[in-house]
Amino acid sequence: MNTVRTAILYGQGINADVELGWAFEMAGAQTDRLHVLDLLAQPSQLKNYHILAFPGGFSFGDHLGSGRVMALELEGLTDLLLRFLETGLILGICNGFQVLVKMGLLPMTGEMPRIEASLDINSHGRFVDRWVPVHSETGSPCIWTRGLKTMDLPVRHGEGRFVADSSVLDKLERQGQIALRYEGGHNPNGSLADIAGVCDPSGRVFGLMPHPEAFLEKSQHPLRRRIGDDVTGLQFFQNAVQFLRTS
């Protein structure tokens, strides 16, 4: 396909939608902001898009646990989203990741969505904004992290500690679903196995706590005077656009 069209959800307390739009546009996609309530009122419009993105934010104030109420609100769309994934891609960042996990769309180690993991309150109990180094797992089916170099990304969350039962964790390891990890010693929230992001077994759905959309150019990095400008978070978005263009 020539034009990759991305729908970026907004509304209901989502707040990192505009810069996520910049990211997809810099990667060569066409983007629309799509209000959550408009999507619910007219779900069929999803077929105009190739990528659906769940940005960061504080949907419903994280009350009852981050992402929970938005997941309830979107529950009715689960089947539609599964069909969308036959050709499309889904990304969830931070609160968007939390929503996907609470809808059971991630990590989805089996065939059908069910809640298998959670993003718990950070082990230190506080919200934290800090740049931390992450690396992708070679051998992961994740489309978004292909060929990704180690880079620093900002985390900005109070509930980002990935937890799951050991059976689920084993499966994630086996199926290469742990697409992104914090570098050893830099885990900012106590996540099990240093998990920063996971994909579904197809690699089409990807959720992560760090914010690649906040690192689109060198000048956004706190060490801008000390680093080169060849590695940025833009690569995540370029990977997705490239994949859709060639598929």
Partner 1 sequence: MRIEVYHRSVEDDPRTLAAKKRLGSLVSCKRLVIADVFLVEGLESSEEEGLRRVFHDPITQRLFFGSACHHILPDWNLAFEISYKAGVTDTLALTVEKALRLAFPDQAEKLQVQTATLYVLESHPIEMDRQAVSRQFYNPLIQDVIFYEAGRNPSWRLAPNPPRVFQTPQPDIIPILDLTREQLVELSQRRLLALTADEMRVIQEYYSQPDIQAKRKSAGMDVNPTDVELEMLAQSWSEHCKHKIFQARIHYDDGSGMVREIDSLFKTYIQKVTAELEPDKPFLRSVFRDNSGVIALDDDTLVCFKVETHNSPSALDPYGGAMTGIVGVNRDILGTGLGAKPIWNTDVLCFAPPDTPASRVPTGLLPPSRILEGVHRGIVEGGNHSGIPTVAGAFLFDESYIGKPLVFCGTGGLLPATIDGRPAYQKKVNPGSYAVVCGGRVGKDGIHGATFSSLALDETSPTSAVQIGDPIIQKIMTDFLLEARDLGLYEALTDNGAGGLSSSLGEMAQDSGGLRIDLDACPLKYPGLAAWEIWVSESQERMSLSVPPQHWPALEELARRRGVEIARLGEFTDSGWIEIFHGGHRVGLLSMDFVHHGLPQMNLVAVWSPAKQDRVPLEVEDLWGLLLAILAEPNVASKEELVRQYDHEVQGRSYTKPQSGLHQDGPSDGAVLRLHPGSPLGITVTHGICPRVGDADTRAMAACAVDEAYRAHIALGGDPDHAAILDNFCWPDPVQGPKTPDGPHKLAQLVRACEGLKEAALAYRLPIISGKDSMKNDAWAEGRKISVRPTLLISLVGRAEVSKDLPDTDFLKAGDWIVLLGRTRRHLAGSMVERVLGKKLEGIPYPDFQIARDLYHRVHRGIREGLFCSVHDLSDGGLAIALAESCLGGRLGAEIDLRGLCPSSGLSPAEVLFSETPSRFLVSVRSEDRPRLEELFGKEDYAFLGVTTVQPLISIHAEGVPILKCSLDEILAAWKSWEGRWS
Tokens 């993105």 sit on residue? 53
User: Per-residue x/- marks for partner 1, 212-241, CB under 8 A?
Assistant: -xx-xx-xx-xxxxx---------------
Strands 205-208 and 195-199: antiparallel
Return the residue of 82, 127, 135, 193 that touches partner 1, per CB under 8 A: 127
**Binding of partner 1 by 19 (CB under 8 A):** yes
Residue 201: asked if its preceding bond is cis (omega within 30°), the reply is no
What would the two tokens of residue 99 be? 């929503």
Catalytic residue from among 94, 142, 159, 221: 94
Is 199 considered catalytic here?
A: no
Instruction: Pick from 156, 169, 182, 237 the residue near partner 1 by CB under 8 A.
Output: 156
Asked if residues 203 and 197 have their Cβ atoms less than 8 Å apart, the reply is: no
Asked if 119 and 160 touch (Cβ cutoff 8 Å), the reply is yes
Binding flag, residue 116, partner 1 (CB under 8 A) = yes
Pairing state between β 51-54 and 5-10:
parallel
CA proximity to 192, closest of 206, 205, 181, 202: 181
Active site residue 63: no
Q: Is residue 78 within the footprint of partner 1 (CB under 8 A)? A: no
Give, as one character, the DSSP assignment of residue 219: G
Work out which of 78, 82, 85, 118 binds partner 1, going by CB under 8 A: 118
Residue with smaller CB distance to partner 1, 82 or 168: 168
In whole angstroms, the minimum distance from the beta carbon of 12 to partner 1 comes to: 7
Kindly state the smallest distance separating residue 87's Cβ from partner 1, in Å: 29
CB of 131 to partner 1, least distance (A): 6
The 8 Å CB, 24+ separation contacts for 78-87 are 78/103, 78/104, 78/105, 78/113, 80/43, 80/46, 81/46, 81/52, 81/105, 82/113, 84/46, 84/47, 84/52, 85/200, 85/202, 85/204, 85/205, 87/50, 87/247
Q: DSSP characters for 62-80?
A: GTTSTTHHHHHHHGGGHHH
Among 37, 87, 138, 173, binds partner 1 (CB under 8 A): 37
Identify the active-site residue in 116, 137, 159, 213.
213
Q: Does an H or E element contain 23, and which?
A: helix 17-26
Q: Which of 116, 142, 157, 211 is catalytic?
A: 211
Q: Is 213 a catalytic residue?
A: yes
For the segment 38-77, give every residue that binds partner 1 (CB under 8 A): 38, 41, 56-65, 68-69, 72-73, 75
Closest approach of partner 1 to the CB of residue 214, in Å: 5
Nearest 10 degrees: CA dihedral of 89, 66, 112, 148?
40
User: Among all residues, which ones are annotated catalytic?
Assistant: 94, 211, 213
Residues near partner 1 (CB under 8 A) are 10-16, 18-19, 22, 26, 35, 37-38, 41, 56-65, 68-69, 72-73, 75, 102, 115-118, 120-131, 154, 156, 163-165, 211, 213-214, 216-217, 219-220, 222-226
